[in-house]
């Protein structure tokens, strides 16, 4: 029931437009799936990085505790060394005095 040539043109082009719309819809669906996949990949990578970050934070904390303990041990060893040197010096003075007396 075409009243004019223009209406007829619209009717005859409708299947073409529907096909274009279907094609665009499929293209968008495909792009959407690609983006969903990329999003999941990025989410997974983010979780991997978060986990690695926590592991490194934990390792760093343990390294700092070990460093602090090593520094305490070093300080104690230096105090012991200083005391041993004082004892050695005193022993040498005593030895020198005993040697002079004999």
| 64-90 per-position pLDDT tens digit | 999 999 999 999 999 999 999 999 999
pTM, 2 dp: 0.58
| 8-40 per-position pLDDT tens digit | 555 556 666 777 888 999 999 999 999 999 999
Cα distance between residue 18 and residue 61, in whole Å? 63
């Amino acid at each position: 029931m075409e009243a004019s040539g223009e209406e007829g043109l619209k009717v005859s082009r409708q299947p073409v437009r529907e096909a274009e719309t279907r094609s665009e819809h499929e293209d968008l669906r495909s792009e959407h799936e690609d983006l969903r996949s990329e999003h999941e990949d990025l989410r997974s990578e983010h979780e991997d990085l978060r986990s690695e970050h926590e592991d490194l934070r934990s390792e760093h904390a343990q390294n700092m505790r070990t460093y602090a303990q090593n520094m305490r041990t070093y300080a104690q060893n230096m105090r012991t060394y200083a005391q041993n040197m004082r004892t050695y010096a005193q022993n040498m003075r005593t030895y020198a005095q005993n040697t002079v007396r004999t």
